[in-house]
A and B are shown apart, each in its own frame.
Chain A
Amino acid sequence: MQENSTRKLLVSSSPHVGSGLTTEKIMLHVIIALSFTLVAGVVIFGVYSLLTVALCVASCVCGETLFNLIRKRPNTVKDLSAVVTGMILGLNLPPTVPFYVPIVGGFVAIMLVKMLFGGLGRNFANPAATARVFLLLSWGTQMMEYIRPIDYASGALTVKDFFVGFVDNAAYVTSATPLAEVKSAAGTGAVDVDLLDMFLGNIPGTIGEVCAIAIIAAAIYLIAFKIIDWKIPLTYFAGIALFSLIFYKNGWNFILPNLLGGGVLFAGVFMLTDYATSPNTRVGTIIFAVGAALLTILIRRYGGMNEGASFAILLMNLLVPLIDKACKPHPFGYRKPPKAKKGGKEAAV
């Protein structure tokens, strides 16, 4: 008894046990899922892609460290969220961007979009999507320059090109993305794209978005570990399919090209599911995903760009607080106010 009474015990509010899940573990799972697409991107476009993503990650981590130093706050990089932001941004860049683009992009994503608004969980817009849009506006040409995947079979690109191809830009053949074809075919209703190539990633595009299988594998991984809510990507994809049908002539032909082309899959799995910038309410989540799908298709069909996912996400991000406010849930057993007052003493408090 003596021994017991001198022992120091932890005293806290209940509950006294918790799940083992932490913010770092969540971020680690996302990093693992993102590496699926990174590996695919490196295989498809060569090692320079890895460098681009690495630069993004490095500038994000440096940006966060720097911000914390200036603000004299404990460094928050060990929660790994800056790494996730850096990877998402890097994977959203074309494989041949000059080295300063990812560096500037990383700093913009972290400093302007995330840290200035209070850091992890407080930013109102997706840092990677915002930075991508910022880069599109700043370096339009470089950000729109897409190359063909390495053609291993033909031998046109050698092993040397795979590693050092970025030194000699002539080794790369720039090409339009399948979305350009989708756009020009919108009037006729006949789309000429190779769906199998789009599925495997054998198409021009950004580093992370081209390989559909890798993204689907990542999505399964994230859903299996309960990191993301399957309802967001699935609603988004269903919305893309539905609005393709509505807004295109011979809409059936456009469903798969729109789903597989551009950043739709990537955005649906990695960017719409961003915790801080997606709604916290169940109904709100559905509205958010449907709205993003509608905007994506509207931009693709009627806007000036072939892509549209990043802009759609950004616009929907701004609506999140309003959506959440409008969809605020009522508690279990809620009845309309006049009745609830009769319910008991608690209701009157």
Chain B
Amino acid sequence: MKLTFKHGIHPKERKELAADSPIEVMPAGAKVYIPLIQHIGAPAEACVAAGDRVKAGTIVGKAASYVSANVFSSVSGTVSGIVRRTNAAGRKIPHVVIDNDGEYEEETLPPLVDPTKEEIIARCKEAGIVGMGGATFPTHVKLESKTPIKALIINGSECEPYITTDYRLMLERPENVVSGIILLAKALGVDTVLVGIEGNKKDAIDRMIYASDGIEGILIHELKTKYPQGGEKQLIYALTKEKVPNGGLPSDVGYIVLNISTAYAVYEACVLGRPCYARFMTVSGEAIARPANLYVRTGVPFSEVVDRLGVKEEYVKAVSGGPMMGISLSDLTPSVSKGSSALLLLTEREIRAVRPTTCINCARCASVCPMNLMPMMTDALILQDKIKEAKEYYPMSCIECGCCAYVCPAKRPLVQSQRLAKKLIRELKI
């Protein structure tokens, strides 16, 4: 029996579009726009000014508090200023604009040789590493967990449709991923690492088993291909059958979950001394002429990424991230940040947008909810402003995976209702 969680859905995978494209390094254009918010937590504070000369890896934004992350230049050149631009989330935030001199001179940190636990954590903090799966929570905060940790869990499930970067990474650079995993395990002081990979990536599983051969404590597990297998709580349950308490964190049951790309970023930071200024990103969707997996520098506008790969047909939606949890963009001006796991240009056919109709009470949303909620109740109650009653259906526990809205035959925006409920409950302190 394959390891998995309860409920969930099987969306069309669409991974075939980009799965066979080897990782390709994309150079930056004449200007890069580095967002000063690329993580969860306090915005980084700009520490360069117009006219400053920077290299790829020069710090341009300093972490403003403990839960924050340093931000780096991704090219060498001259700072031309700090401007407010729209980011992928649709907010106007400060961006450091750098004129690229095309030399790509690097400023690296000294590589760590046989580092201690503290040195690795300090390096993650210094190199601005955040959860590269898209959540962008600063990694050093997770590594300095106050509660005792039994094991490290590495999320290689990549359950979102279309996205194939973790797959390509495991296929092409498994030994680097494994060395990142070893460093993370050391930082946490754990002997056991559970790596969960969905069954639709058999060759990646083989490569990872091969790369971790002879290293004690790294266990590669095949998981059932089902969405949202990569949700922290679902992944922990699939691998250990332990349940993260409602409203709690994985560390409450003794686990820390980190992503394959994060492990790779840790490898880059510790072994190569390269801070986090570039990432792997899948660019896909039926409108993209040549779907690809790019190694792209942060600060490159999405429009340049799209220009490189070409558009072959009309698209109606542009999404930063996966189709289930990503953010739809109003245009392609935002630039690549640490959390940009994918850029999708979707056609009418793919999104099948139709007007929401009345709820028919079929309970499909409840039957697929991996958190065992009743989204139709929250939806109905929140639209009647019955916030207190809506709270009875635990919208705060919603992980916003989108299973409910995916299966809804009335096409109701159920995730949006859950978000609205969360917002109102927080704001009105109900």
Contacts and interface: CB of A to CB of B under 8 A. Distances in A.
Interface of A: 1, 4-5, 7, 9-23, 25-26, 79, 81, 119-122, 229, 275-276, 279-282, 328-335, 339-340, 343-349
Nearest to B350: A17
B331 interface: yes
30 contacts: A1-B307, A7-B331, A9-B315, A9-B328, A9-B330, A10-B353, A11-B317, A11-B328, A12-B353, A13-B419, A14-B405, A15-B325, A16-B319, A16-B351, A18-B405, A18-B407, A22-B409, A26-B362, A120-B360, A121-B360, A121-B410, A276-B360, A281-B363, A329-B366, A331-B372, A331-B397, A333-B233, A335-B245, A344-B248, A346-B397
Contact of A15 (B244, B332, B402): B402
Interface string B300-312: 0001101100010
A331 B373 contact: yes
B329 A11 contact: yes
A18 B331 contact: no
Contacts of B416: 12-13
B329 A9 contact: yes
Contacts, number: 202
A119 B409 CA distance: 16
A7 to B, nearest CB: 7
B198 interface: no
Interface stretch (B20-28, B119-127, B388-396): B388-396
A197 B367 CA distance: 38
B190 interface: no
Given A16-B351, A19-B409, 4 more contacts: A9-B329, A12-B317, A14-B327, A275-B363
Which are the 10 A-B pairs with shortest beta-carbon distances?
A: A347-B247, A15-B402, A343-B248, A13-B416, A346-B247, A331-B397, A280-B363, A343-B245, A333-B243, A121-B360
B384 interface: no
A119 B413 contact: no
Contacts of B247: 340, 343-349
Contacts of A10: 316-317, 328, 351, 353
Nearest to A279: B363
Nearest to A331: B397
Contact of B328 (A16, A121, A279, A331): A16
Contact of A18 (B328, B411, B419): B411
Contacts of B372: 329-332
B318 interface: yes
B254 interface: no
A9 B248 contact: no
Contacts of A1: 303-304, 307, 332
